[in-house]
Structure 1
Amino acid sequence: METNPHPILKPGSSFMLAHPAHFLAQGFGSGLSPIMPGTAGTLFAWLSFAVLNLRWPTLFTPVVWSAIIVIGYFIGVWACAVTGKNLGVADHGSMVWDEIIAFWLVLVFITPAPLITQFWAFIAFRFFDMVKPPPIGYFDQRFKGGFGVMFDDIVAAFFALLAFALYRTW
């Protein structure tokens, strides 16, 4: 897949709406936040998870969420590859579908949980996603394209869940 030779540094709504892959990769617009788009995408994930679970609790079960996450991961590989190519930046900051899928994964494993627990899960996930301690940073550097964009956030979600599991055992 050939990359745009002229990178788009600040994509706007017209870019996002130009292709379904852009709309998805940019988190339905949450990735267009001028400050901390990854955090905005993660907040969108949290809000959408809460709203869908409250509105349709019998539909949005852990099994259904798991299917959404798996399917969303593979669609996200495609959407992030297309969007990165069109932006001219493989892992552009406005692409937040990776944060959305990864944080939904965290929420599936920790809920039902009080709001404060969900808040600490948010903090833990953002820490691992932003700081990228080993091996997250290794995967971020090693794997490129849509797969690379999506995979390092899944590893960050795993580390956030591992931190919660270790905390609960003490």
Structure 2
Amino acid sequence: MKGKSPLDILGTALATLGPIGHFPKAPGTWGSLAAVIAAPWLFLPLPLWGRVAVLVVVFAVGTWACGVAERTLDRKDPGCVIIDELFGQWLTLLFFASMPIWYLGLAFVLFRIFDILKPWPVRWAETAFAGGLGVMADDGVAGLYALLCLHLIALIL
């Protein structure tokens, strides 16, 4: 990133979750996995209002950082940009602070399914908004789908 401003470097580093987004294979999956691994220490111990506040901050910072990364890397929704996976994965876990550990694995799988397949309106959210907002929005919708499925499974069990 030669010749880029410190804010360009910071925004891109946040958008890629540091080195994780630069893993050579499946950076989105690695980003989701990192989010699930970090959640029991950084997200789930918080009260519900704290988790909501974290999601608002991650969405706002992520929207800015994704826009910066798109401009800096000169690509729309670059594969290395994975803060949106963190947001979507943590959104999936929003109401599951106290859960069996296997729910983390199920949340991971459900979110990845919706993020990869992009059923309506996930794909619509990706294309309806420009820049960082579009990058973050589709993962938010995928996270809501996964959250709903996880909740339904919890009700059944």
Q: How does 1:28-47 map to 2 (within 5 A)?
A: 28-47=18-37
**Correspondence for 1:139 among 118, 121, 125:** 125
Structure 2: which amino acid aligns with 1:84?
Answer: E
Checking the alignment, whether the CA contact within 8 Å between 2:43 and 2:51 is kept in structure 1 is no
Q: Which runs of 4+ in 1 moved over 6 A?
A: none
Shift of 1:142: 2.3
Shift of 1:164: 2.0
Partner residue of 1:51?
41
* CA RMSD after TM alignment: 2.0
**Gapped regions of structure 2 (runs ≥ 5):** 2-6
TM-score by length of 1: 0.81
Shift of 1:133: 0.9
Shift of 1:32: 1.0
Shift of 1:66: 1.6
**Gapped regions of structure 1 (runs ≥ 5):** 1-10, 12-16
Checking the alignment, whether the CA contact within 8 Å between 2:20 and 2:31 is kept in structure 1 is yes
Q: Deviations over 1:47-76 (max 9, x none)?
A: 22123369xx4xx33322221110110111
Q: What fraction of aligned residue pairs are identical, expressed as a percent? A: 36
* Separation (CA, whole Å) in 2 of partners of 1:90 and 1:53: 29
Matched, 1:23 2:13: yes
Structure 1: which amino acid aligns with 2:98?
Answer: P
Q: Deviations over 1:10-61 (max 9, x none)?
A: x9xxxxx96110111001221111111001111111122123369xx4xx33
Checking the alignment, whether the CA contact within 8 Å between 2:114 and 2:146 is kept in structure 1 is yes
**Correspondence for 1:95 among 54, 60, 81:** 81
